[in-house]
């Protein structure tokens, strides 16, 4: 490196907060910018009348201020540091990062959808109720579970709605002694957290040697507290499970559970493998949630908003949350707690994440019954293809076929001191978003790869090549090479220990 370039580099590091090089941007926090006299909005002048709030007027808040072009540039520059599904392959297992059609965004922004108020007289929002009714109908048909409540805000909220439905059913039926929820050890963290929030205690079911539940282990858990399972409220099972496998024995397990008087809650995060081909009602599910932000492609938005409607049997529909939309003659109306007294009540103000309903219905209508069956089929095919192609270079812990995602571990790479974390960071270096890492927790160093149906074979092949290259590198280049990755991303590895030890959670004047 020439002396000038070295000097430039050093200067660049110091100047990093606003500088840029090529298309690598740096961007300061809003508070570090010069306070602009101009705000980024032009509002009508206020008349300055005396306030009628009964309280003193607020003094200086200390907010930053920039003009519109400065604000826009700020966020556009920051956006360039993000990886997204529109950038490339995003095989984040359990998260279903599929293409997000822009038609859905457009529809959600029709004034008749975006500028309506949840407490408007229903006569003035019949189109909104019609849309909800249609979506309820689709979800009920696809799951075989006719009771649909759209309100939950995301998957975890749907879990809560579902478990509360079960709790309420037992309560109304006088089974207040049922306090235990059975949850496989492969479950997502939201499952046990939800069960506790709902006032239940959690009993784990160990995963069998083939990555699936065994009837024996299930029975042991079921009858552990009482020989008839009289303490069991229900079970929460993700199917396909978080190892990407369909629970082979699920029908038998569901039968045993039902005989013991428990209900089957299905975490529907992995519904993308089943949609249009398998109805969860047909393998014994009583109630499940669906992540509209996974299977039905409402965008993840860098962490939400999601939407987690629940679907349940006719029996449980009496207890699920209100409101739901029903049709009376030609009119759509809400069924409320007054109409359905056995309902557990309300879990969120108003009707739910309506904007997500519009996007999901737009996605569903575009695919139709035929397209949705192709969605699941293609997703499953692609995951199996990846598993087959990577089975020599990586450890495949469980025999397939897998469903819409495949599980690998770092067992082979560990002998070179290269771990799942290193593989993930190497993928970043090669221009990919990594797969889900260290989840599920049933084995060490898991990598969960979910390609989704919206990737071409060419894109999948290139990813496979990259993964093979990384496996080679693990043998040839050694751990030091990996530990320094990524090198080319906007930031190198970040110090998470420092962040937690000395939390800085907001801007502070230094």
Partner 1 sequence: MRYLPLSKNAHDEMLEEVGASRIRDLYKDVPSSALLDDIVDMPHHKGEIEVERELSAMAAKNRSAGDGPFFLGAGVYYHHVPASVDYIIQRSEFLTAYTPYQPEIAQGTLQAVFEFQSFIAQLTGQDIANASLYDGSTACVEAALMAMRITKRRKVSIGTPLHPEYRKVLDSYMGNLGDVEIVDGEPDEETACVIVQSPDFLGNPHAYDLWRKRCDETGALLVVVITEIVSLGLLPAPSEADIVCGEAQSIGIPMSYGGPHLGFFACREKFLRQMPGRLCGMTEDADGRRGFVLTLSTREQHIRRDKATSNICTNQGLCALAFTVHMSLLGETGVRQLARLNHEKACALADALEKIKGVEIENKNFFNEFVVSLPKPANQIVDELVTLDIIGGLALDGNRLLVCATEMTRDEDIERLVTALRKVL
Ligand X SMILES: Cc1ncc(COP(=O)(O)O)c(C=O)c1O
Span interacting with partner 1, options 45-53, 219-227, 407-415, 474-482, rule CB under 8 A:
45-53
Nearer to partner 1 by C-beta: 276 or 445?
276
Show the site string, 338-357: x = touches partner 1 by CB under 8 A, - = not.
Answer: ------xxxxxxxxxxxxx-
Encoded one letter per residue, x for contact with partner 1 by CB under 8 A and - for no contact, window 3-22 reads ----------x--xx-----
For residues 208 and 485, give the distance between their C-alpha atoms in angstroms, rounded to a whole number: 35
Residue identified by tokens 């751990």 is 479
- Evaluate the CA torsion angle 331, 332, 336, 341 in order and state its sign: positive
Among 300, 311, 317, 423, binds partner 1 (CB under 8 A): 300
User: Which of ligand X, partner 1, none lies near 267, with the C-beta cut-off 5 to 8 A by kind?
Assistant: ligand X
Whichever of 466 and 489 has its CB closer to partner 1, that residue is: 489
Shortest Cβ 125–ligand X spacing (Å): 26
Choose from ligand X, partner 1, none: what does 245 bind? Cβ within 5-8 Å by kind. partner 1
Site for partner 1 in 219-238 (CB under 8 A): none
User: Among residues 9 and 216, whose Cβ is nearest to partner 1?
Assistant: 9
> Which residue, 129 or 418, has its beta carbon nearer to partner 1?
129
Question: CB of 15: closest distance to partner 1 in angstroms?
Answer: 11
Q: Which of residues 359-418 bind partner 1 (CB under 8 A)?
A: 361-362, 365-375, 377-378, 380-382, 384-385, 387-389, 401, 403
Q: Is 142 in the site for partner 1 (CB under 8 A)?
A: yes
Q: Is 306 in the site for partner 1 (CB under 8 A)?
A: yes
What is the closest distance, in whole angstroms, from the C-beta atom of residue 238 to ligand X in the complex?
5
CB closer to partner 1, 185 vs 226: 185
Nearer to ligand X, 169 or 288 (CB): 288
From partner 1, ligand X, none, which one binds at residue 63 (CB under 5 to 8 Å depending on kind)? partner 1
Range 422-481, binding partner 1 (CB under 8 A): 424-425, 428, 433-434, 439, 453-457
User: Could you say which of 55, 227, 330, 480 contacts partner 1 (CB under 8 A)?
Assistant: 55
Tell me if residue 202 falls in helix, strand or coil: strand
Q: Measured from the CB atom, is 241 or 413 closer to ligand X? A: 241
Distance, in Å, from the CA atom of 304 to the CA atom of 154, rounded to the nearest integer, reads: 8
308/434 with CB nearer ligand X: 308
**112: which 2 tokens?**
């008749």
Residue 478 interacts with, from partner 1, ligand X, none (CB under 5-8 Å by kind): none
Which residue from 206, 246, 235, 224 is spatially nearest to 441, judged by alpha carbons?
Answer: 206
Q: Which residue is nearest to ligand X (CB)?
A: 155
- Going by the DSSP 8-state scheme, the letter that residue 124 receives in this structure is G
- Based on the shown chain and the rule CB under 8 A, indicate whether residue 41 belongs to the binding site for partner 1: yes
Residue 454: burial class (beta carbons within 10 Å; 0-12, 13-18, 19+): buried
Nearest of 23, 33, 94 to residue 69 by alpha carbon: 33
Nearer to partner 1, 291 or 413 (CB): 291
64 counts as binding partner 1 under rule CB under 8 A: yes
User: Which backbone phi and psi does 83 adopt, to 5 degrees?
Assistant: -95, 145
Structure tokens at 491: 């930031």
| Binding partner of residue 238 among ligand X, partner 1, none, CB cut-off 5 to 8 Å per kind | ligand X
Q: b/e for 103-128, b at 16 or more Cβ within 10 A?
A: ebeebbeeeebeeeeeeeeeeebeeb
* Interface with partner 1, residue 66, by CB under 8 A: yes
Instruction: Give the C-alpha distances (Å, rounded to integers) separating 458 from 90, 315, 464.
Output: 14, 47, 10
Taking the C-alpha atoms of residue 152 and residue 154, their distance in angstroms, rounded to an integer, is 6
Q: What is the largest CA-CA distance in the chain?
A: 82
- Cα torsion 266, 270, 272, 274: sign: negative
Closest CA to 271 of 453, 397, 83: 453
Cα-to-chain-centroid distance, residue 17:
33
Chain residues binding ligand X by CB under 6 A are 94-95, 154-156, 188, 190, 238, 242, 267, 269, 291, 306, 308
- Which of 92, 180, 318, 467 forms a contact with partner 1 (CB under 8 A)? 92
DSSP characters over 37-49? SS-S--PPPP--P
Residue 192, C-beta contacts closer than 8 angstroms, at least 6 positions apart: 183, 202
65 binds partner 1 (CB under 8 A): yes
- In the complex, the smallest distance separating the C-beta of residue 415 from partner 1, rounded to whole angstroms, is 25
Name the residue nearer to partner 1 (CB basis): 219 or 248.
248
Nearer to ligand X, 212 or 389 (CB): 212
Q: Is 103 helix (H, G, I), strand (E, B) or coil?
A: helix
Query: Which of 1, 480, 504, 509 is close enough to bind partner 1 by CB under 8 A?
Result: 504
Please check whether residue 352 is in contact with residue 153, taking contact to mean a CB–CB distance below 8 angstroms. yes
Q: Among the candidate windows 217-225, 312-320, 471-479, 496-504, which touches partner 1 by CB under 8 A?
A: 496-504
Whether the Cβ atoms of residue 150 and residue 324 lie closer than 8 Å to each other: yes
Query: d(Cα 223, Cα 220) in Å, to the nearest integer?
Result: 6
| Shortest Å, Cβ 304 to ligand X | 8
Type and span of the H or E element at 204? strand 201-205
Measured from the CB atom, the residue of 4 and 496 that comes closer to partner 1 is 496
Q: Is the dihedral of CA 158, 160, 161, 163 positive or negative?
A: positive
Q: Give the C-alpha distances (Å, rounded to integers) separating 298 from 98, 143, 148.
A: 9, 19, 18
């Amino acid at each position: 490196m020439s002396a000038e370039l070295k000097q430039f580099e050093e200067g660049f590091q110091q100047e990093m907060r606003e500088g840029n090089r090529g298309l690598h941007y740096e961007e300061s926090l809003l508070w570090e910018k010069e306070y602009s006299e101009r705000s980024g909005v032009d509002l009508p002048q206020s008349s300055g009348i005396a306030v009628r709030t009964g309280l003193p007027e607020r003094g200086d808040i200390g907010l930053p201020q920039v003009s519109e072009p400065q604000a826009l540039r700020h966020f556009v520059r920051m956006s360039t540091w993000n990886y997204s599904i529109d950038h490339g392959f995003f095989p984040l297992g359990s998260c279903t990062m599929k293409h997000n059609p822009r038609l859905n965004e457009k529809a959600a922004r029709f004034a008749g959808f975006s500028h309506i108020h949840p407490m408007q007289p229903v006569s003035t929002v019949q189109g909104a109720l019609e849309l909800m009714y249609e979506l309820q109908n689709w979800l009920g048909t696809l799951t075989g579970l006719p009771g649909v409540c759209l309100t939950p805000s995301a998957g975890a909220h749907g879990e809560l709605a579902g478990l509360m439905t079960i709790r309420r059913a037992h309560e109304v039926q006088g089974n207040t002694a049922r306090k235990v929820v059975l949850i496989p050890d492969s479950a997502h963290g939201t499952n046990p957290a939800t069960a506790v929030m709902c006032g239940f205690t959690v009993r784990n079911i160990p995963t069998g040697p083939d990555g699936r539940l065994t009837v024996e282990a299930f029975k042991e858990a079921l009858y552990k507290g009482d020989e008839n399972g009289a303490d069991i409220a229900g079970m929460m099972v993700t199917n396909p499970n978080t190892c990407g496998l369909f629970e082979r024995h699920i029908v038998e397990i569901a039968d045993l559970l039902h005989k013991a008087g428990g209900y089957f809650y299905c975490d529907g995060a992995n519904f993308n493998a089943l949609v249009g081909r398998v109805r969860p009602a047909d393998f014994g599910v009583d109630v499940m949630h669906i992540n509209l932000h996974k299977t039905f492609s409402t965008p993840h938005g860098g962490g939400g908003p999601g939407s987690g409607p629940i679907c349940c049997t006719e029996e449980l529909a009496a207890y699920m949350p209100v409101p739901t939309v029903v049709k009376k003659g030609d009119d759509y109306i809400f069924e409320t707690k007054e109409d359905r007294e056995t309902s557990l009540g309300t879990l969120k103000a108003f009707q739910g994440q309506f904007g997500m309903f519009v996007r999901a219905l737009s996605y569903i209508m575009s695919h139709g019954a035929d397209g949705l069956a192709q969605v699941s089929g293609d997703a499953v095919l692609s995951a199996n293809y990846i598993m087959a192609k990577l089975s020599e270079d990586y450890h495949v812990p469980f025999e397939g076929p897998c469903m819409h995602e495949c599980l690998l571990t770092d067992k082979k790479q560990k002998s070179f001191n290269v771990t799942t974390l290193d593989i993930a960071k190497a993928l970043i270096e090669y221009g990919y978003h990594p797969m889900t890492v260290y989840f599920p927790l049933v084995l060490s160093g898991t990598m969960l790869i979910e390609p989704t149906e919206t990737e071409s074979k060419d894109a999948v092949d290139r990813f496979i090549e990259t993964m093979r290259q990384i496996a080679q590198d693990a043998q040839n280049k050694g751990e030091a090479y990996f530990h320094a990755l990524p090198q080319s991303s906007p930031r190198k590895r970040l110090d998470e220990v420092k962040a937690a030890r000395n939390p800085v959670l907001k801007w502070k004047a230094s």
